C-alpha cells in the first residue's frame, strides 16, 4: 500500500513518537514541578513537529500516502498516551478518556475503510481513501494539545480545558460520521 521510501516529513512525523517514552520516564523518575516543565517542553516540541511535517511535505512536494496515514496515527498515539498518564496521576476520569479513545479509534477506522466512492474514483477495489481532518477535527486537536499542556503543568482550571477537549472530540466525531445535510 505504501512506498518503502520514507521522506524527511515522514521522519519528522515518526520523531514525535520519541516524546512518549521521554515524558513517561520523567514521571517515573519523579512527579515534580521540574519534571512537569521538562515534559511540557518535550510535548511542545512534539506539537511543533506536527506542524513542521506538514509544512515540509508541502514545501518539498513530498506529500505521500504513508505520511497522510502516519501523521494522524502518531498524533493519536501521543495524545492517548498522555491522557492515559493523566488517569494514572488522578488528574482526569477514565470514562472521559475512554470516550476520547473510542472516538479516535472509530474515526481512524472510518477514514481508512474502503468506500464505494473511492473505488469508483481510483479504480482500485478495496483501497482505502485517506481523508483529511475538517475544521472540527482540527479544533479538537488544538484543544487536546492545550488541555495536555495545561494538565502537564497543572495550571489553574486545567480540567476545564480537558472538558472542552472532550466536548470537541465528541462533536467532531459526530459531525465526521453524520455529514451535514445538503439543502
138-159 residue pLDDT tens: 899 899 999 999 999 999 999 9
Helix-strand-coil split of the chain, %, nearest 5: 75, 0, 25
Confidence band for 169, pLDDT divided at 50, 70 and 90: very high
The three-state secondary structure class of 169 is helix
Residue 118 scores a pLDDT above 50: no
Question: How high does pLDDT run on average in the chain?
Answer: 85
Residue 89 scores a pLDDT above 80: yes
Confidence band for 176, pLDDT divided at 50, 70 and 90: confident
Residue 43 scores a pLDDT above 90: yes
Residue 126 scores a pLDDT above 60: no
Q: How far apart are CA 143 and CA 126, in angstroms?
A: 34
* pLDDT value, residue 121: 44
Confidence band for 114, pLDDT divided at 50, 70 and 90: low
What mean pLDDT do residues 127-135 have?
59
Q: How far apart are CA 80 and CA 97, in angstroms?
A: 8
**Cα-to-chain-centroid distance, residue 39:** 17
* pLDDT value, residue 137: 85
Q: How far apart are CA 116 and CA 79, in angstroms?
A: 31
Amino acid at each position: 500500500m505504501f512506498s518503502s521510501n520514507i521522506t524527511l516529513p515522514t521522519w519528522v512525523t515518526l520523531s514525535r513518537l520519541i516524546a512518549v517514552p521521554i515524558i513517561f520516564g520523567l514521571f517515573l523518575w519523579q512527579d515534580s514541578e521540574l519534571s512537569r516543565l521538562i515534559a511540557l517542553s518535550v510535548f511542545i516540541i512534539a506539537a511543533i513537529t506536527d506542524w513542521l511535517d506538514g509544512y515540509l511535505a508541502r514545501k518539498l512536494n513530498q506529500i505521500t500516502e504513508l505520511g497522510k496515514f502516519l501523521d494522524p496515527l502518531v498524533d493519536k498515539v501521543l495524545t492517548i498516551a498522555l491522557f492515559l498518564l493523566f488517569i494514572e496521576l488522578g488528574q482526569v476520569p477514565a470514562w472521559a478518556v475512554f470516550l476520547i479513545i473510542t472516538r479516535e479509534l472509530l474515526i481512524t477506522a472510518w477514514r481508512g475503510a474502503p468506500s464505494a466512492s473511492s473505488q469508483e474514483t481510483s479504480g482500485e477495489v478495496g483501497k482505502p481513501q485517506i481523508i483529511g481532518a475538517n475544521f472540527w477535527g482540527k479544533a479538537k486537536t488544538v484543544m487536546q494539545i492545550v488541555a495536555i499542556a495545561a494538565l502537564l503543568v497543572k495550571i489553574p482550571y486545567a480540567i476545564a480545558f480537558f472538558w472542552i477537549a472532550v466536548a470537541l472530540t465528541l462533536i467532531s466525531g459526530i459531525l465526521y460520521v453524520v455529514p451535514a445535510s445538503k439543502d
